[in-house]
Amino acid sequence: MTHVLIVEARFYEDLADELVKGAMAALDAAGVTYDRIAVPGAFEIPAAIAYAAQGDKYAGYVALGCVIRGETTHYDYVCGESARGLQNLAIQQRLAIGYGILTCENGDQAWARASVTKKNKGKDAAEACLAMIGLKQRFGVS
């Protein structure tokens, strides 16, 4: 049976809960089992996945979080480095990762993307993870 790890950044707890709700529903619908772990923010997601990937427990990973632009360049660093870190893991370690880190200008944009009744990006990230697991299986990648 396929087993996935959901890594959720809890910096915006209400948005994290909504993203996880969408991801869990998609994984449940696919008959996939999963574990959840929380990290402080989006910047910590790649490291958590790298730690988890040291074992062979998970077929894939769903990265969920939200970064909302503030008054400083901190936003740019968190967005860029979390995306780069996840892409490096996907390519270098051949991990199946569904990217669900929202990068938004404001809270309204974040809610429009996180809400399970709107864009449901948690679901999209879980489905991307499952698609990448399928590709790995198709190409015989371990």
**Smallest Cα–Cα separation from 2: which of 139, 118, 125, 132?**
132
CATH topology of domain 3-127: Rossmann fold (3.40.50)
Amino acid at 4: V
- The angle subtended at Cα 27 by Cα 66 and Cα 97, nearest 5°, is 55
User: Is 74 marked active-site?
Assistant: yes
One-character DSSP codes across 120-140: -HHHHHHHHHHHHHHHHHHHT
Residues in the chain: 142
Instruction: For residue range 13-31, list pLDDT tens digits in order.
Output: 999 999 999 999 999 999 9
45 annotated to bind ligand: no
pLDDT of residue 142: 85
Distance CA 107, CA 3 (A): 32
Cα–Cα distance between 126 and 141 in angstroms, integer? 20
Q: Is 42 annotated as a binding residue?
A: yes
Known binding residue 11? Answer is yes
Q: Would you list the domain boundaries of the chain? A: 3-127
Residue stretches of the chain with pLDDT short of 50: none
Please identify which of the residues 74, 84, 94, 118 carries the catalytic annotation.
74
CB 69 within 8 A of CB 42: no
Both structure tokens of 36: 């959840």
Identify the pLDDT of residue 1.
Answer: 86
Tens digit of each residue's pLDDT (9 = 90 or more) over 68-81 = 999 999 999 999 99
0.85 cut: is pTM over it? yes
The whole-number pLDDT of residue 4 equals: 98
Is 29 annotated as a binding-site member?
A: no
